[in-house]
A and B are shown apart, each in its own frame.
Chain A
Amino acid sequence: MISPMKETILLSLGAVLLGAPLFATPQGPAPSNEQKYEKKIRKEFVKYGNWALDYDAVRQQAKEEGKLIFVYFTRSYSP
């Protein structure tokens, strides 16, 4: 059931992974998945949209505040 909620919590999940496109020229060791994740969540849009990153916490918040969750699944190479 959907409650008549007017507000939405923004939740960004994901980031990272094998981001190097096939045509990239090899330039030393590839960054780890942890490094790619950290780089992605440091991007400006995460702060700008006040995105949350913890799925459990955001569901709890949605329950308490009567809001919907807007989820954004992304990766290191994806918009």
Chain B
Amino acid sequence: MSKIEGRAHDDLLLTKGYGGFPTLAFMDADGEVLGQPTDRSVEAFAACRDALQVIDAVTAKAEAGDPEAKAELLLLEHSLGRVNAEAFAARAETVRGGANQAQLARIDQALVDNEVWELVGESYRGDAEAAGASMLALLDAGKRPSATGKYGGNFWGILGRWARPKGDPSLLRRIATGMREDFPDDKGMLRMANGLEEMATGLDNRDALVARQEGGEEGLEAKILLIEVELGALTLEELRKRLPAARDVATDEEKQALAQGEADMEFKQLVDSFWGGGDRSVLGKRMFDLLSGDGLAPSENIAAPMWSCLSVWASGTGEKETMRAVAAVLRKRYKDNTRVERTAKSLEDRADKL
């Protein structure tokens, strides 16, 4: 779909019933869709191609009453994306009796994969908490998705993100181990596993401090809180509730770090809400007010996404005064920063054109 006027078949994607990008599919010479790879991997491409090469013969056998062919046909149709989860589950029950052991294992795996895919959708549709809890329940029941990007990749990624704020070192290590077992050569997955293990180590350190605190040792609250801030293991509200007690026992350096942590968490919350569907006019204004005030600016890893929010918000107001004010406050807060200068300059250019 190029949206170039007059280009032939520009609506082909829609006429085939699809809408997302990228979309991959096998077609015959008449343009009939025969199947779709389950994900964008070479393995999924090959599985789809191989299924297409044998499915006619298997269909003929199944129609002749061969029970194993009936099971195989269902599995082939699943690998081609031709059968939805509900229909697969229903048909699986009818072919189970005639399936061989290997086919039974593949049917059970496909059922788990379908369940995981449903939870992936639930997570991205907004109920990440419930989806994460259900994924952990699957793991507890000994069910693991196939080690493919679509199923295992999404499963471990969502589960890892869900587990981080739980603050449970053993859970984090369990998930990191699963990631390593299922995706031993996937750099992104290994990076996530490392991150979870580092967080588990940090939480162990926190727990050791908490044990000392519970044993009567005083003056540890700031150290405990700083670990939790660094790990992202608490909410902004919890941080603010515990800040007064921590400040009472903090060194000057710890006080500074706590203040920076609070600023970072507040900006992060605003940035996340900005891109996550919140009211941009309110959130953008809040970021601008915070940055214009006397409080701390966010650290570098939060600053860059915050600049983008401010730029989008200011441009969206259509007010040249606002665009220029944002450019000015960014320059004031982030002196000699090339990216900030580029953002500020383009805001001013846009304001000049109004």
- Which residues from chain A sit less than 8 Å from chain B, CB to CB? 1-6, 8, 13-18, 22-23, 25-27, 33-34, 36-37, 55-56, 59-60, 62-63, 67-75, 78-79
Evaluate contact between A25 and B311: CB separation under 8 angstroms. Answer: yes
In the bound complex, what is the Cα–Cα distance between A4 and B60 (angstroms)?
Answer: 14
Evaluate contact between B312 and A23: CB separation under 8 angstroms. Answer: yes
Expressed in whole angstroms, the minimum distance between the Cβ of A47 and any Cβ of chain B is: 18
In the bound complex, what is the Cα–Cα distance between A78 and B29 (angstroms)?
Answer: 26
Which of these, B4, B22, B55, contacts A16 with CB under 8 Å?
Answer: B4
Known: A2-B28, A59-B30. A27 touches B22 (CB 8 A): no
Known: A2-B34, A6-B53, A56-B8. A71 touches B27 (CB 8 A): yes
Evaluate contact between A69 and B29: CB separation under 8 angstroms. Answer: yes
In the assembled complex, B241 has its CB within 8 A of some CB on chain A: no
Which of these, A18, A37, A68, contacts B27 with CB under 8 Å?
Answer: A68
Evaluate contact between B56 and A25: CB separation under 8 angstroms. Answer: no
Evaluate contact between B308 and A23: CB separation under 8 angstroms. Answer: yes
Identify the closest chain B residue to A37 (Cβ).
B2
Which of these, A8, A27, A79, contacts B40 with CB under 8 Å?
Answer: A79
In the bound complex, what is the Cα–Cα distance between A62 and B52 (angstroms)?
Answer: 15
Evaluate contact between A34 and B4: CB separation under 8 angstroms. Answer: yes
Known: A25-B311, A25-B346. A68 touches B34 (CB 8 A): yes
Contacts of B123 in A (CB 8 A): none
**Please, could you name 27 A-B residue pairs with CB atoms under 8 Å apart, sorted by A?**
A1-B28, A1-B56, A2-B28, A2-B55, A2-B56, A14-B1, A14-B2, A14-B21, A16-B3, A23-B275, A23-B309, A26-B315, A27-B346, A33-B3, A37-B4, A55-B31, A62-B28, A68-B28, A69-B27, A70-B45, A71-B25, A71-B26, A73-B1, A73-B12, A73-B13, A73-B18, A73-B23
Identify the closest chain B residue to A40 (Cβ).
B2
In the bound complex, what is the Cα–Cα distance between A37 and B6 (angstroms)?
Answer: 14
In the assembled complex, B177 has its CB within 8 A of some CB on chain A: no
In the bound complex, what is the Cα–Cα distance between A27 and B106 (angstroms)?
Answer: 52
Which of B55, B275, B312, B350 gathers the greatest number of chain A CB atoms within 10 Å?
A: B312
Binary per-residue interface labels of chain B (11-42) against chain A in the complex, 1 for a CB within 8 Å, 0 otherwise: 01100001001111111111100100000100
In the bound complex, what is the Cα–Cα distance between A18 and B4 (angstroms)?
Answer: 11
Known: A16-B3, A72-B22, A79-B40. A5 touches B53 (CB 8 A): yes
Contacts of B55 in A (CB 8 A): 2
Identify the closest chain A residue to B57 (Cβ).
A4
Evaluate contact between B26 and A8: CB separation under 8 angstroms. Answer: yes
Evaluate contact between A74 and B22: CB separation under 8 angstroms. Answer: yes
Contacts of A23 in B (CB 8 A): 275, 305, 308-309, 311-312
In the assembled complex, B9 has its CB within 8 A of some CB on chain A: yes
Contacts of A25 in B (CB 8 A): 308, 311, 342-343, 346-347
In the bound complex, what is the Cα–Cα distance between A33 and B26 (angstroms)?
Answer: 27
Evaluate contact between B56 and A4: CB separation under 8 angstroms. Answer: yes
Which of A4, A17, A23 gathers the greatest number of chain B CB atoms within 10 Å?
A: A23
